[in-house]
Amino acid sequence: MNDVAGKTLGGRYRVDALIGRGGMADVYRGVDVVLDRAVAIKVLTERDDGERDRFLREARSMARLNHRNIVAVYDAGRDGPFSYIVMELVEGRTFSAVPPNELTVHVAIRHYIEMLEALAYAHANDVVHRDVKPTNVMVLPSGAVKVMDFGLARRTSDMSAANSAGDIAGTIAYLSPERFLGKPADARSDLYSVGVMLYETFTGTVPFKSETNDLVAVIFAHVNDPPAAPHAVNRNVPPQVERIIVRLLEKEPDRRYQSAEDVVAELRALVTGPVEPADPALHQTTPARTSPTSDSARLARDAAESSARAVLARTFKRSRAVDVGYSETLAGMLATRKGDYDEASRAYRAALAAFAEAKNELEAAKTALKFATMVLQKTNEGESQGRIPNRRELSDAVDILSDALPTFRGRALLKELEEGERLLYTLQRTLIRTR
């Protein structure tokens, strides 16, 4: 779309410098020339009707919220090709940009209390954020916290399994298990995301991640795997804080805290009562953030963190087809684990079709590997029980995996390439043997 900088939208809002980019909109510093005040102007970069509707839904959701810890929305509208939201201009840093040496246990807890008070207010007004993460929380110079970017918010009454399924958006590292299973998201989903943030604040790492950026593996871990105990990552995590984190990260929503107010009450008790250890700076108790490092190691760490953030940013901007691909791949993995091979085959084929539609060769190749592994497992189990192998499915697996190998080879993914070549050889031998 045309550059909006320098224009005046709606005859009132002058657009100045670009200050941020998101998955569907850019944010500019601007001026309300009528009231002569600085504002932030969020301008939609996507033009299809679905995105326009979601953008306006964001404005409606945020405009209903008037709370000291939520970025205020002043206005919204369209001016020619531009759809925009005018918001409070917040000066500060995102939570992820706050240096660990500026946080003590008590300061961190106070930040989370304000964050949860904002969410409690939103939930009471029938709004679920759906994208709670460190980059959506601002810390002002005064120390106050502001929650922003309700871009994925929905009225709770508008949510259903139907409109949530296949619509996995936001940042994978912070999303709740139910989001990946196509179940309705509610206030407790936001609380899970807060739990992930708390875990990261006190240990220096998120509970579920993949060193190879295998997003499907991260999704699978959110749904199935227990997180490592916070004290196992950082032995100095206060036990009272660990208990709160563990409950927030329960897989089943019914086992979590049922409201943000409940979490606030427990955190307030920690601020007013003794917390062990006695309020040291978090950077002194978090191995992942504090172990002595050389300049080169620090640069490598920063580069790795930057790479991870870039991967998550790209994930946020994925098309709906890719979201469907991730969802169906997860369904295939779960079905394979249960031995429901018909469902697994259906899900993997749907995922492959979705990734092909999105022209995402890497995720398609990874899914092809999972599909071929499932087919061989099904064949081996069937033969052990006297069933005739499905030659059509074996042939499909050979063809699909053969198409995937060049992607691994071209990207120098040697582990995946070796596994794929070994699997392809076994499938081909099995196909020949069953003639």
Indicate which residues carry an active-site annotation.
Answer: 131
Question: H-helix or E-strand containing 88?
Answer: strand 82-88
Residue 151: name the closest of 46, 256, 13 by CA. 46
CB 194 within 8 Å of CB 263: yes
Phi/psi at 30 (5° precision): -150, -175
Question: H-helix or E-strand containing 402?
Answer: helix 391-410
C-alpha separations of 161 from 174, 180, 272, 328 in Å? 20, 11, 41, 15
Distance CA 320, CA 358 (A): 8
What is the torsional sign of CA 230, 233, 235, 236? negative
Would you give the distance in Å from CA 190 to the centre of its chain? 12
Q: 205 is written with which tokens?
A: 């790492």
CB atoms within 10 A of CB 122: 26
Distance CA 431, CA 435 (A): 7
Question: H-helix or E-strand containing 108?
Answer: helix 105-124
CB 402 within 8 Å of CB 424: yes
Distance CA 61, CA 55 (A): 10
**Tokens 């993995």, located at residue:** 333
Q: 173 is written with which tokens?
A: 């590292």
CA dihedral 237, 239, 240, 241 (to 10 degrees): 30
Question: H-helix or E-strand containing 45?
Answer: none
CB 92 within 8 Å of CB 146: yes
C-alpha separations of 181 from 116, 252, 346 in Å? 25, 12, 16
